[in-house]
Amino acid sequence: MTSPMDVLLSRASTDRLKDPAPSGAQLEQIVATALRAPDHGRLQPWRYVIVQGEARSILAEKVVASTLRVAPQTPQFNLDKRRQRMATMPMTIVLGMHLQPDHKIPLWEQEMSVGAGAMNILNALHAEGFGGIWVSGPITQDPVLAAEFGFEAPHKLAGFIFVGTPDAPLPAHTRPDPAGFMAL
Ligand SMILES: Cc1cc2nc3c(=O)[nH]c(=O)nc-3n(C[C@H](O)[C@H](O)[C@H](O)COP(=O)(O)O)c2cc1C
């Protein structure tokens, strides 16, 4: 039996994804793990827009339009590639951050909580036999794109998680030695 530690230690990001993506109760449970993220002040800043099926082409067009807003010189080839990628991923989870800039809990702590939630999603996907990768890019900072997903300023995007079933063995990265990252 695979132990929880084995799951955590064997996760790797991948964008080589095919159908199926999780659905129904399994998807709800994966999102439920995100809502266990540490959350100073119980502000619940995590928001998820699940994009699949026909909505993927709408997402793809919004992403291309956003790319042209933030980087108008982007070559047509790159735009086409991005459109294709967004339109064909089995599922994309748009990561929203519901932020309260005037709250006594600092903004960075609210954003970190969203990051922790995203990490739980990646681990839960892997635990359930799915795969994913968290991607961002300058469009993540585009307030127009954020508003199109319901995150009007001061709310923001934290990027996107591509979701599906790994189409190839997970990349075998060499991971750093923990001893180099801790002081005892
Ligand atoms: C906030 C955030 C944004 C990221 N954006 C991108 C991205 O736009 N493109 C990309 O290839 N990787 C991006 N990454 C990195 C991948 O999600 C992933 O961590 C990386 O490919 C290393 O793989 P690993 O998770 O297996 O270590 C991002 C990671 C984080 C935390």
Is the confidence at residue 165, as pLDDT, over 90? yes
pLDDT > 70 fraction of the chain, expressed in percent and rounded: 100
> Looking at residue 19, what is its pLDDT?
98
CB atoms within 10 A of CB 110: 22
User: Do 166 and 17 form a contact (C-beta atoms < 8 A)?
Assistant: yes
Mutate to test the pocket of ligand 1, among 134, 170, 175 (most ligand atoms within 8 A of CB): 134
Q: What is the mean pLDDT of residues 129-150?
A: 98
| pLDDT over 90 at 90, yes or no | yes
Q: How far is the CA of 45 from the centre of ligand 1 (A)?
A: 21
Closest Cα to residue 82, out of 170, 162, 163, 167?
162
Please say if the pLDDT value at position 1 is more than 80.
Answer: no
What domains lie within the chain, and their CATH numbers?
12-167 (3.40.109.10)
Neighbours of 32 (CB within 10 A): 13
Residue 16 binned pLDDT confidence (cut-offs 50, 70, 90): very high
Nearest alpha-carbon partner for 131 in 28, 22, 13, 25: 13
**CB 149 less than 6 A from any atom of ligand 1:** no
The protein residue whose alpha carbon is closest to atom 20 in ligand 1 is 13
Measured in Å, residue 119 CA sits from the centre of ligand 1 at: 11
If one residue of 70, 86, 136, 173 were mutated to test the ligand 1 pocket, choosing by the most ligand atoms within 8 A of its CB, it would be: 136
Give me the residues paired with residue 134 across strands. 161
What is the mean pLDDT of the segment spanning 87-98? 98
DSSP helix/strand/coil, 151: coil
CB atoms within 10 A of CB 58: 13
